[in-house]
Structure 1
């Protein structure tokens, strides 16, 4: 189960810390803006790795999502959070992230300042058995087929279209 008392930084839309709140406060509909890091992992064949969210997650349980997604801890930089989350979720330490950009993800339940990164990686992936229900590489055809069918998280779908979609010719 997620630790609802875990402290997150509260930020403005530029990423400047303006306060702090717990996970529970950030996810209870307050829509306090808090930062998260995402890493999209592609292999050299052009497939993309997705994680399966466990059923116990408080948001989007059981759906397929970005390879790595995690909250920044209070006092952590986006780069530190990214390295920590990638190590914790996929067991990967030897990767070179490419920063794509940041944007505000806004839903009825929460608001996140998302720092989007990508990497090309062909090494071993060891998904955490404590944090994930596994994961696998998906072809672009599989991604297209799953879009809009409640298989993928809405956040992944919108971010993928925004960052890697039609302009990149991937979907």
Structure 2
């Protein structure tokens, strides 16, 4: 059975539902997505290489966790569920980063992103993900614009860097304070 998504307006209020196939390819149907940026204590971010069989950006490296919310699900619950499904990471506290509208010619999403520092085991779903790896911010900077990363992740990374610079060094997600 095909996934159903809540359809929302620009203020993120639910106005209906539509199947996944209708949302992908129709940017008029705004739907909700949760992302998690998983960092290790060395300040590296975990990226996932999307399966070659995905309908969006197959075979490219992407945000640690990203997934559509189930109907009626809130962003935090969706992020926790997707993190468990995609990476096998459960019962970890997430920190809210920011929310933003992501719009392109293929789809329109309202995204809320979270952050986690995690040094434990990762057990990814091989149907969804081909590989996972930690990358330093410096290495990610070198990869930007190369086609190695998804455009969605490149956008997410720019938002994260802006968030981090506005937050200040003492409260950076890379520090233990």
Q: TM-score, normalized by length of structure 2?
A: 0.89
SS in structure 1 opposite 2:130?
coil
**Is 1:22–2:48 an aligned residue pair?**
no
- Residues of 1 paired with 2:8 and 2:161: CA distance? 26
**Partner residue of 1:104?**
101
1:128 to 125, 128, 135: 125
**Partner residue of 1:167?**
165
**Aligned length, in residue pairs:** 167
Deviation at 1:140, TM superposition (A): 1.4
**TM-superposition CA deviations, 1:47-98 (whole Å, max 9, x none):** 0000001111111111000000000011211121111100000000032111
**Partner residue of 1:118?**
115
1:61 to 58, 70, 88: 58
SS in structure 1 opposite 2:129?
coil
1:44 to 32, 41, 46: 41
Deviation at 1:30, TM superposition (A): 4.1
Deviation at 1:113, TM superposition (A): 0.2
Is the Cα–Cα contact under 8 Å of residues 9 and 34 in structure 1 kept in the other structure? Answer: yes
- Residues of 1 paired with 2:160 and 2:64: CA distance? 14
Q: TM-score, normalized by length of structure 1?
A: 0.92
Deviation at 1:29, TM superposition (A): 2.8
Is the Cα–Cα contact under 8 Å of residues 37 and 46 in structure 2 kept in the other structure? Answer: yes
Moved >3 Å (runs of 4+): none
Deviation at 1:16, TM superposition (A): 1.5
Deviation at 1:26, TM superposition (A): 0.3
Ranges in structure 2 where 5+ consecutive residues have no aligned partner: 173-177
CA RMSD of aligned residues (A): 1.7
